[in-house]
Structure 1
């Protein structure tokens, strides 16, 4: 059974309750992003992985992530900022090391072999068909949502390698899961799940509404407004910008 990783906010203290009321009054939303790498990755930005309005938070809020994946295909080629990816075709859950074939009728089939730590998509549509956008969806709070995007060409193969680098920030903007963003809109934080750090206990900061770890909890790295999300989550090391 897959490990369950946790992101926790505790709004039970007076200070955090005050900040929560301010976030709710300002119609703020928590935005989450996750990393991946591979050739032909979209360079204009990353899809928003999940959104949680602060209006729906109170008390102790827990966000659960399971490293389980599905492959999606979106029947559009151009992916720019402010575009929202729609998972027009979605595979069954597949483990890392799998090769999936995407067929012209929108179905998937499994091929033998594959790259360790990655999921490969073989595009079996005929030559001359238009390019499409493909990527991985990961399980967050029990729902699969897209977190990376690649260009898939007919008769080509896309190799997609997920990682567990996470970025969070709060913002006053109307975006959805799958919306493409190039840079962090507000201060936030980054961290990386691994078997030795499966739980991050976080809190909101006054004035800036930045995000940090609570005292004595696993530390997170500050993320500055304007940070390139692709560089932050798809580079070899985590760090602030």
Structure 2
């Protein structure tokens, strides 16, 4: 089973697969100016971070799990990051989630579609069930006895061929949560020691936000000279630049 650390950059064109479109985020480090910026990022131990979110009750207050964390030392040439809106539900047996906690997907469901209802059982299994679920959401019921402790649940989405967590909610015994994923993305490059699953509340450096849709399935980005923020390549779909310290929840409209 792939872990949250198994994210490997690859390069494929955006295609329609099964019932979901693969969206892409591209960088071109063959350009002389971008190659110079890449050299700086590599020499100073920068990583590229990505965040997305989901709406739902009892979202943890400490922030969002880091969805994507990739060191620039692993990048060169033309880089494409591929995201397909396919989901699995995870469970983490820790209920008190503070800043910099790393979410561990200790239990991971099979791939599930939107509109699906699931049950988390005392033995750690996740099973499907019938229920009235909004068409844009996935429901998880915590079927453990009322006397047991809370757990953390959330959604993992497919990025670069592996499932990684991008949202987190506190799940009480016998309670249900509807989780509605969003297609807005936040990205930045920073010198911080986070990994996929690490919880943080704010953008740690200048970056950008953008939204995927049926009409916009790819974004071409570049690293800005001097600030090492991110923006879109001229003439390609527009992204909104953000500043260090901005709230990830507000940036992603959660």
SS of residue in 2 equivalent to 1:234: coil
TM norm structure 2: 0.91
Are 1:14 and 2:32 matched, yes or no? yes
Superposition RMSD in Å: 0.7
Are 1:61 and 2:97 matched, yes or no? no
Please state how far the C-alpha of 1:31 moved relative to its aligned partner: 0.3
Q: How many residues align?
A: 235
Match of 1:217 in 2: 236
Match of 1:238 in 2: none
Give the Cα–Cα distance (whole angstroms) in 2 for the partners of residues 130 and 232 of structure 1. 32
Give the Cα–Cα distance (whole angstroms) in 2 for the partners of residues 222 and 36 of structure 1. 21
Please state how far the C-alpha of 1:234 moved relative to its aligned partner: 3.2
Give the Cα–Cα distance (whole angstroms) in 2 for the partners of residues 106 and 115 of structure 1. 25
Match of 1:183 in 2: 202
Please state how far the C-alpha of 1:32 moved relative to its aligned partner: 0.5
Match of 2:12 in 1: none
Are 1:112 and 2:116 matched, yes or no? no
Are 1:24 and 2:42 matched, yes or no? yes
Match of 1:153 in 2: 172
Are 1:135 and 2:151 matched, yes or no? no
Alignment of 1:91-102 (within 5 A): 91-102=109-120
The answer to whether the 8 Å contact 1:101/1:108 transfers is yes
Match of 1:206 in 2: 225
Give the Cα–Cα distance (whole angstroms) in 2 for the partners of residues 181 and 25 of structure 1. 24
Give the Cα–Cα distance (whole angstroms) in 2 for the partners of residues 132 and 208 of structure 1. 40
